[in-house]
C-alpha cells in the first residue's frame, strides 16, 4: 500500500526532505514509491503496519518559511501536516494517541488537541489533524484564567521588547475581548509566540493562536496581530454572513476580515493599548494600502476571475481587509451619529448572540435588513464598494473632533522593476531607466539571491524602510537598497488637530 510522507499544508516546499530515517518494524517492509514524497509499505506477518521515522528540521531553512515548522535549540512548534504520515482515506476518522517521550524536564509543552500536551488522544481524520498544533520550549510561560477558563501563553525566541511586557499585553487583550464580547469561551486556550526573521504571521486554530514574529516587532504590530487573530473567535467564529455555495469563498471577507480588523483596533484603544493617533495612522494606512493596491477599483467579478486564473495573491486578498475596515469605521460613525452610542461593537455583539443557536451565520439579506433597521444602508454600500469596487469616502468627522482630513502627497509604491517576474525567474527583469531601482544600480539580468521588505501587502512590510535586494555578481553577493517610491498622488488622510483646536477646525473642514 501507498504511504505518503509529510506534506506541509502551511507551505514548506518538499518537507519530506527532512525525514531522516523511515523503517518498518515487526516485519513491515518499506520500499521506494513513485516519487520522493511516497513510499510503498507491505504489512508484517500479523497484518499490521509498524513504522518508525525521524524528522529533523533545519532551523536555518525553516526561518525562510513563514508558517514552516519553527525549531531551535530551546523550542519547537509543528502543525499536524508537517509531521504526520499519510495513509488511506484522508477524511476517515481513526484513533490517534500522541505522546511526548523523553522531553526535556524544564520545557513547557502545548497541544491544541487537549490541555495535557504530554499525552493526547483523538479520533480524527488526517485532514482534521493537519492544522492541529503542538510544541514546547524552555522560554517564557504564563498561565492565567479568564471567566474561569485557562489561558496559557508560551513565548520562545529573542524579542527586542521585554517578555514581561508581552505577557502583560496578551493578558490584557484576551481579557478585554472576552469581557466585551462574551459568549462561551473555549475550554482552554493557548497563545504561542515564536521567532521568525522578517515576518509577522499568525494562524488561529481551534483552542489557540500561534504567532510567528520578527525580533523587532513593534508593540503596535504585536498588539494588532494578537487582537485581530483572537477576535476571529467572534467574527467569523460566532457571527458570519452565510455564503451561497456558488459564491467565491472570499465574497464576505470585507466583513470577516475587515470588521475583525476594525473592532480589534477599537478594543485596543478602549483598553489603553493603542493611542487615537495610532488608530488614525492605521486608517491612513488602509487608505494608502488601497491606493497602492493594483486591484483598488476591481469589481467582485474581476477578483473572482483573478482567483480562477490562480493569481489570487496577497494584494487581491488584502483588498477585502482594507475595504472592510474602512466600511466598518464609516458605519460605526453613522451608527453613533444616529443615536447609537455603543456603535458597531454593540451591534456585532447583539447579532452574534442572536445567531448563537443558528450555527453563527446570518443570510446576506438578514444581515442587510438588520443594518437597515439601524439606519445603515448596508446593501447599497456592499454593492457600491465590494461588488462594483467604487472608492470608499469617509465622513469628515469620522474620528471625532480631534481629527481632520487633509490632502497629502504620498508617493505610489513603485520599485521600478518587475518584482513578480524577477522572483519567478530568480533574475532581475523589467528595470525602468527612470525608476528608483535603476538609480540604485539594479540592472536587468542580475541574479536575484534574496529580497527584504519587498512584499508590499504582507503584514510586516514597512514604508519607512528600504527595499533590500541581494544580487549575485561575479565578485560575490551585492546588496542594493532603495525606497520603492514612484510618482506622488494626493490622498485624503486623517490628521490630528492640536489640542483645543478640535471643534472649530472641524467646522471649517466641512467644505
Ligand atoms: Zn484575519
Render pLDDT for 388-446 as a digit per residue (tens, 0 to 9): 999 999 999 999 999 999 999 999 999 999 998 999 899 999 999 999 999 999 999 99
Ligand 1: centre distance to CA 328 (Å): 15
- What would the grid cell of residue 66 be? 513563514
Rounded CA-CA distance 62/72 in Å is: 10
Ligand 1: centre distance to CA 143 (Å): 25
Ligand 1: centre distance to CA 63 (Å): 22
The gap from C-alpha 246 to its chain's centroid, in whole angstroms, comes to: 26
- What would the grid cell of residue 61 be? 531553512
pLDDT at 506: 38
Ligand 1: centre distance to CA 99 (Å): 31
Statement to judge: residues 48 and 79 lie in one domain:
yes
Statement to judge: residues 283 and 383 lie in one domain:
yes
Ligand 1: centre distance to CA 403 (Å): 28
439 Cβ partners below 8 Å, 6+ apart?
A: 416, 482
Statement to judge: residues 300 and 254 lie in one domain:
yes
Ligand 1: centre distance to CA 382 (Å): 19
Ligand 1: centre distance to CA 422 (Å): 29
Number of H helices, E strands in the chain: 15, 23
Q: Which residues share a beta bridge with 99?
A: 119
Statement to judge: residues 137 and 23 lie in one domain:
yes
pLDDT at 510: 31
pLDDT at 461: 87
Q: Tell whether 195 is covered by a domain.
A: yes
Statement to judge: residues 345 and 244 lie in one domain:
yes
Q: Tell whether 502 is covered by a domain.
A: no
Ligand 1: centre distance to CA 388 (Å): 23
Q: Tell whether 507 is covered by a domain.
A: no
Ligand 1: centre distance to CA 236 (Å): 9
The gap from C-alpha 221 to its chain's centroid, in whole angstroms, comes to: 12
Q: Give the tens place of pLDDT for each residue, 338-353.
A: 988 889 999 999 999 9
Question: Rounded to the nearest 5°, which phi and psi values hold at 347?
Answer: -65, -40
Give strand ranges (E) for 26-178. Answer: 29-32, 38-42, 50-55, 70-72, 75-79, 94-99, 108-111, 119-124, 133-137, 140-146, 149-155
pLDDT at 502: 54
Ligand 1: centre distance to CA 68 (Å): 19
Statement to judge: residues 438 and 359 lie in one domain:
no
Statement to judge: residues 116 and 217 lie in one domain:
yes
Ligand 1: centre distance to CA 234 (Å): 11
347 Cβ partners below 8 Å, 6+ apart?
A: 335, 340, 374
pLDDT at 64: 86
Q: Give the tens place of pLDDT for each residue, 420-434.
A: 899 989 999 999 999
pLDDT at 501: 66
Mean pLDDT for each consecutive 10-residue tract of the chain (511 residues)?
A: 94 94 95 93 95 95 91 95 95 96 93 92 95 95 93 94 94 93 86 92 89 92 93 91 92 97 96 94 97 96 94 92 98 94 91 87 94 95 97 94 96 94 93 95 93 87 92 88 96 91 42 29
With cell 516519487, the residue in question is: 35
448 Cβ partners below 8 Å, 6+ apart?
A: 422, 423, 425, 426, 427, 428, 469, 470, 471, 472
Range of the domain at 436: 415-483
pLDDT at 78: 97
Amino acid at each position: 500500500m501507498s504511504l505518503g510522507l509529510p506534506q506541509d499544508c502551511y507551505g514548506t516546499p518538499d518537507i519530506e526532505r527532512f525525514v531522516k530515517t523511515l523503517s518498518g518494524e515487526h516485519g513491515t517492509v518499506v520500499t521506494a514509491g513513485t516519487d520522493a514524497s511516497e513510499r510503498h509499505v507491505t504489512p508484517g506477518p500479523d497484518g499490521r503496519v509498524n513504522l518508525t521515522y525521524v524528522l529533523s528540521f533545519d532551523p536555518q531553512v525553516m526561518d525562510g518559511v513563514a508558517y514552516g515548522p519553527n525549531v531551535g535549540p530551546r523550542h519547537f512548534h509543528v502543525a499536524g501536516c508537517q509531521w504526520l504520515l499519510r495513509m488511506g482515506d484522508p477524511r476517515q476518522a481513526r484513533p490517534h494517541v500522541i505522546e511526548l517521550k523523553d522531553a526535556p524536564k524544564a520545557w513547557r509543552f502545548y497541544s491544541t488537541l487537549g490541555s495535557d500536551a504530554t499525552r493526547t488522544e483523538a479520533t480524527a481524520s488526517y485532514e482534521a489533524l493537519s492544522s492541529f498544533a503542538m510544541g514546547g520550549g524552555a522560554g517564557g510561560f504564563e498561565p492565567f484564567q479568564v471567566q474561569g477558563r485557562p489561558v496559557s501563553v508560551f513565548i520562545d525566541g529573542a524579542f527586542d521588547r521585554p517578555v514581561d511586557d508581552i505577557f502583560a499585553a496578551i493578558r490584557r487583550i484576551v481579557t478585554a475581548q472576552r469581557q466585551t464580547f462574551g459568549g462561551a469561551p473555549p475550554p482552554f486556550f493557548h497563545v504561542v509566540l515564536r521567532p521568525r526573521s522578517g515576518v509577522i504571521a499568525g494562524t488561529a486554530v481551534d483552542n489557540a493562536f500561534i504567532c510567528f514574529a520578527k525580533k523587532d516587532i513593534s508593540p503596535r504590530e504585536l498588539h494588532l496581530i494578537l487582537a485581530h487573530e483572537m477576535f476571529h473567535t467572534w467574527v467569523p467564529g460566532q457571527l458570519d454572513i452565510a455564503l451561497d455555495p456558488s459564491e467565491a469563498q472570499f465574497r464576505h471577507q470585507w466583513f470577516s476580515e475587515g470588521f475583525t480588523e476594525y473592532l480589534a483596533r477599537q478594543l485596543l484603544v478602549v483598553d489603553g493599548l493603542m493611542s487615537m493617533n495610532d488608530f488614525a495612522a492605521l486608517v491612513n494606512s488602509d487608505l494608502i494600502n488601497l491606493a497602492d493596491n493594483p486591484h483598488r477599483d476591481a469589481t467582485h467579478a474581476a477578483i473572482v476571475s483573478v482567483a480562477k486564473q490562480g493569481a489570487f495573491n496577497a494584494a487581491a486578498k488584502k483588498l477585502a481587509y482594507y475595504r472592510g475596515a474602512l466600511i466598518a469605521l464609516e458605519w460605526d460613525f453613522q451608527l453613533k451619529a444616529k443615536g447609537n452610542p455603543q456603535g458597531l461593537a454593540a451591534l456585532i455583539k447583539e447579532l452574534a448572540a442572536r445567531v448563537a443557536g443558528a450555527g453563527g451565520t446570518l443570510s446576506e439579506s438578514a444581515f442587510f435588513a438588520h443594518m437597515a433597521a439601524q439606519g445603515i444602508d448596508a446593501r447599497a454600500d456592499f454593492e457600491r464598494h465590494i461588488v462594483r469596487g467604487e472608492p470608499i469616502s469617509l465622513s469628515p468627522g469620522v474620528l471625532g473632533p480631534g481629527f481632520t482630513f487633509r490632502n497629502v502627497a504620498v508617493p505610489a509604491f513603485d520599485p521600478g522593476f518587475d518584482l513578480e517576474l524577477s522572483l519567478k525567474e530568480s533574475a532581475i527583469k523589467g528595470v525602468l531607466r527612470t525608476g528608483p531601482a535603476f538609480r540604485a544600480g539594479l540592472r536587468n539580468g542580475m541574479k536575484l539571491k534574496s529580497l527584504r521588505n519587498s512584499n508590499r501587502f504582507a503584514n510586516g512590510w514597512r514604508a519607512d524602510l528600504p527595499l533590500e535586494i541581494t544580487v549575485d555578481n561575479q565578485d560575490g553577493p551585492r546588496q542594493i537598497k532603495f525606497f520603492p517610491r514612484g510618482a506622488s498622488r494626493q490622498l485624503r488622510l486623517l490628521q490630528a488637530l492640536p489640542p483645543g483646536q478640535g471643534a472649530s477646525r472641524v467646522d471649517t473642514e466641512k467644505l
